[in-house]
Structure 1
Amino acid sequence: MSNYIVFDLEWNQSAAGKETSLDHLPFEIFEIGAVKLNEKMEQVSQFHRLVRPCVYRQLHYIISEVTHVSMDELDRDGRPFKEVMEEFMEWCGEAPVFCTWGSMDLTELQRNMVYHGMEIPFASPLLFYDVQKLYSLTFSDGKTREALDEAVKLLNIRMDAPFHRALGDAVYTGKVMACLDMKAVGDYVSVDYYRIPRCPEEEIVLNFPDYSKFVSRGFASKEEAMKDKRVTDMVCYKCRRMLRKKIRWFSYGQRFYLCLAACPEHGLMKGKIRMKKAEDGSIFVVKTQKLVGEEGAEFVARKKEEARVRRAERLKTKKHGK
């Protein structure tokens, strides 16, 4: 029986700017709100707590304007983060399925837990539902990311609580989730990247109806990552056949790579690699593979030509610069 935990966080940041932020705690949580849904997407319980800040003791002006929270209120009604988090996990119950609007909340929750010396109790890999993505898959192109208040308006959900407060946003997210056909989009789980795989055996492979995702372990550099066979192999996610590359991996931009491969049975497949920085400073890879038609193949070929032209221009500029 599913135990859906739809939660939202409100957090503060350094009022003096990013340069004064703690390296591994850019955002300090001051509010946790959540609703528990049953398999029928009916709300069966609520959770709401304020957290007393101990790192950023002045509210950033934007946070104050958006949430209408004051530091006096947090000092008066807030409780220590560790105490609130322990209550939250007990309230979540066994095997919770976390659901959030967007992909940041679980990462920031874990960062705050580590800062406060707490062990992370979540499974690894940590899979969750990004309701914002599921909403886009249902009502848009799967790529657009709508703001929560806009989604609520478009679905004609009654607005009886302010936005940008943790419990209200969790309630609204749960109501949006109730409007979705989970049988149609329930396969599209998201993976949290706060804790990346530590070794090849832990690397993550997720197969979805129309694409696949691979999450690597950490590497010292993107050049080292691109030497790894599991990173650069193209394998058809439908028949598991190793594929021949028609266009080999090439870089476009500083963090992205593309390639084009061919499956004799299923056709052309585009590969895309995103280089991401892990919490420990290492580089890890998120590789997606998707079947494409001629238009998708032409896109890859065009990007390769653009990359070739840019590379030639850089070499020419470097030569003349000497």
Structure 2
Amino acid sequence: MNYHIMDLEWNNAFSCRHGKFVNEIIEIGAVRLNDALEHQDEFSQLIKPRLSGRLSSIVKNLTSITMDELGEGVPFAEAVNRLGKWMGEEEHVVLTWSDTDLHVLLENFKKFLNKRHIPFLQKYADLQKYLQHRLEIPGGNQIALANAAGQLEIDLTGRDMHRALDDSRVCAEMLKTVFEKESFAGFTADARRPDFYRRLTFKNRYITDVKNPGINKNDLRFTCERCGKYAKRMSRWAVRNKSLSAVFCCGSCGHMFRGNVRIKKTFDETVVTRSVFPYELPKEGSSDDK
């Protein structure tokens, strides 16, 4: 098994053909580690842009890449063909720092090559997620690459950060530091499975329409937290902070409260979070809860 740690740099350019801004890849860098996590080889390629003859100021400042340098690059199709040959047929996992690079790569395959999959991708792992798991960093707090390197005491002196190859080198060092075979397997996805790209491109969403057929009506019922009897809804459902919210009153003890239901649709499941808050009578003249 080989581990290909890959990083991309891209320019946000406007596409007249697609009528929107597109993240056009301008550089690919990658490092190959073998099964023993020993350094084997590196890949670096500049890509000649198709959409724009200018780089955004952010890209210029972060990468120091110039249009003259990119003019010496190769078309995207040639770049990914070279990358695929470099990765080879041997079993391998491709890793990136967060799955943003993978989304951008897939977007470029669709826009420029009319392909809806990445041919050389066998297995994939999000290194950022795996490292946060190993360092016990909460999933909601995404750690930056430089900060992660600092926590692992990886020296960045002389590194050309925000360049694809050096970022890949840093990621490779981090993988070596935190790697544990059994736990890593749980963060690896088989890109050859039929549902891989549907899962990758699925966007989680909150259901805020009370008439949505995906809502289980039982999730909209509340019992009184004081006496345990069913409470009656006294107001229309309203949307508050991505949640459905309504006022309830217990017919047994008269206790009033606000019930909130947050319904999140993911690729695999519907996650329902329910909460209860004290009810405050609306101020005089307020239209709240009418």
Q: TM-score, normalised by structure 1?
A: 0.62
Q: CA deviation at 1:69?
A: 0.8
Q: Corresponding residue for 2:241? A: 253
Structure 2, unaligned stretches of length 5 or more?
Answer: 223-237, 246-260
Distance of 2:8 and 2:220 partners within structure 1: 45
Once the two structures are overlaid, the 10-residue window that deviates more, 4-13 or 148-157, is 148-157
Which of 55, 69, 75 is the matching residue for 1:80? 75
* Equivalent position of 1:137 in the other structure: 133
Provide the rounded CA distance (Å) in 2 between the counterparts of 1:147 and 1:53: 27
1:9 maps to which residue?
Answer: 8
Q: Does 1:150 align with 2:147?
A: yes
- 2:26 is aligned, of 19, 30, 51, to 30
Instruction: Please give the alpha-carbon distance, in whole angstroms, between the structure 2 residues aligned to 1:252 and 1:31.
Output: 43
Contact 2:48/2:76 (8 A) holds in 1? yes
CA contact (8 A) 1:9 1:32 kept: yes
**Shift in alpha-carbon separation, 1:305–1:92, aligned structure 2, 3 A:** same
CA offsets per residue over residues 103-134 of structure 1, 9 Å max, x none?
A: 201110011111112434548x9862111111
Q: CA RMSD in A?
A: 4.7
Instruction: For 1:55-70, list aligned pairs within 5 A.
Output: 55-70=51-66
Map 1:78-227 onto structure 2 (within 5 A).
78-94=73-89, 95-122=91-118, 128-143=124-139, 144-159=141-156, 160-183=158-181, 185-189=183-187, 227=213
| Structure 2 CA distance for aligned equivalents of residues 246 and 167 of structure 1 | 52
1:246–1:115 Cα change, 3 Å: closer
Distance 1:176 1:218 in 2: 29
Separation in 1, partners of 2:185, 2:172: 18
Distance change (3 Å), C-alpha of 1:223 and 1:43: farther
Cα 1:251/1:65, change in 2 over 3 Å: same
SS of alignment partner, residue 36 of structure 2: coil
3-state SS in 1 of match to 2:25: strand
| Larger deviation, residues 19-28 vs 84-93 | 19-28
Q: Which has the higher helix share?
A: 1
Amino acid at match of 1:130: D
Letter in 2 for 1:317: S
Correspondence for 2:226: none
Aligned to 2:228: none
Tell me how far 1:29 sits from its aligned partner.
Answer: 0.4
The percent of aligned pairs where both chains have the same amino acid is 23
Q: How does 1:261-280 map to 2 (within 5 A)?
A: 274=264
Query: Contact (CA 8 Å) 2:4, 2:94: kept in 1 or not?
Result: yes
AA in 1 matched with 2:146: D
CA distance in 2, matches of 1:4, 1:174: 9
Residue equivalent to 1:263: none
Structure 1 residues 49 and 216: alpha-carbon distance in aligned structure 2, compared to 1, 3 A threshold: closer
Q: Distance in 2 between matches of 1:116 and 1:228?
A: 36
Alpha-carbon distance in structure 1 between the residues aligned to 2:58 and 2:68: 17
Query: Residues 33 and 197 of structure 1: is their aligned pair in 2 closer, same or farther, counting only changes over 3 Å?
Result: same
Distance in 2 between residues matched to 1:104 and 1:36, nearest whole Å: 20
Q: Is the 8 A contact 1:51 1:78 kept in 2?
A: yes
TM-score with structure 2 length normalisation?
0.68
Q: Is the 8 A contact 1:215 1:286 kept in 2?
A: no
Does 2:41 align with 1:50?
Answer: no
Q: Deviations over 1:201-248 (max 9, x none)?
A: x976xxxxxxxxx997999x975995249xx7xxxxxxxxxxx97979
Structure with larger Rg: 2
1:237: which partner in 2?
none
- Structure 2 distance, partners of 1:203, 1:108, is 15
**1:317 corresponds to:** 287
Unaligned runs of 5+ in 1: 205-213, 233-243, 258-270, 276-284, 291-296
